[in-house]
Amino acid sequence: MARAWMVVAAAGGLALGVCRAQEASPEDAPRAIFGVTVVDNSGLEGKVYLIKPESQELPNFKKLKPKGSLYTSALNIPPRRFTEGFPGITDRFEWFAIDYTGRFWIEQAGTYGFGLTSDDGSKLYIDDRLLIDNDGIHPAVTVARSARLTRGVHRIRVSYFQGPRDGLALVLEVAPPGERWRIFSTKEFRPANPEDWKDTGADAAVPPDRRRK
């Protein structure tokens, strides 16, 4: 069974973490959940697009029309095979892109690590600034960077595309100050008081990244 190595190389003084992910077979792999079609305004909204075959990088989403939307609180699709498409939206399982947007709440200001694993390309934006560039056609690769975040509301965007069939991956992880890496979830990063969503937050600092395949 094939194995993929996910490398988390955090900048800004955070520890280097390495974990091994084993590619699942069709029999034992969990269903790849990019999201559901039921509207959920508290999580991430991912707009699904069809892209041209042989695309080598993320498309210009402004020039495309979405086929539909998916909603999820976390992106946790480890390396696996994918052939099921998106029921209710499209049966395409290759040459598609998803542009996720949402917001999250930071209670404790500090340096947060973000790790983005994808097969094929992906990018992570925090407060409209590009934090991680993991674009292009490639097997599962993790790129990690850190950002200094203030207490308050922050915007998040994860852009992803799948090239040729049939393996894919999309995992977003976070390491809060002094804590271990875990899957990023909007359910965790929300204020105790809903009124705090009115806080505007602040931009994230963008330090150099470290990439390793």
Inside any domain, residue 25: no
CB distance 111 to 146 below 8 Å: yes
Inside any domain, residue 26: no
What length does the chain have?
213
Task: Write the pLDDT tens digit of every residue in 73-115.
Answer: 999 999 999 999 999 999 999 999 999 999 999 999 999 999 9
- Please give the tally of structural domains in the chain: 1
Inside any domain, residue 31: no
Distance between CA atoms of residues 7 and 209, nearest Å: 13
Inside any domain, residue 16: yes
| Residue ranges making up the domain that contains 134 | 3-20+36-211
CATH number reported for the structural domain that contains residue 133 in this entry? 2.60.120.1560
Task: Give pLDDT, residue 197.
Answer: 87
127 pLDDT higher than 80: yes
**What are the structure tokens assigned to 61, written together?**
């989403």
Q: What is the pTM (predicted TM-score) of this model?
A: 0.83
Phi, psi of 175 (to 5 degrees): -130, 95
Measure CA 84 to chain center. Answer: 20
Inside any domain, residue 14: yes
Looking at 34-38, 46-50, 169-173, which range is the least confident one? 34-38
Give the residue carrying structure tokens 């899957």: 183
Cα 157 to Cα 4, 31, 62, 126, 129: the distances in Å are: 25, 23, 15, 7, 9
Give the residue carrying structure tokens 């947007």: 101
Which stretches of 4-123 are DSSP H helices? none
Inside any domain, residue 27: no
**pLDDT bracket for residue 41 (50, 70, 90):** confident
Inside any domain, residue 30: no
Inside any domain, residue 155: yes
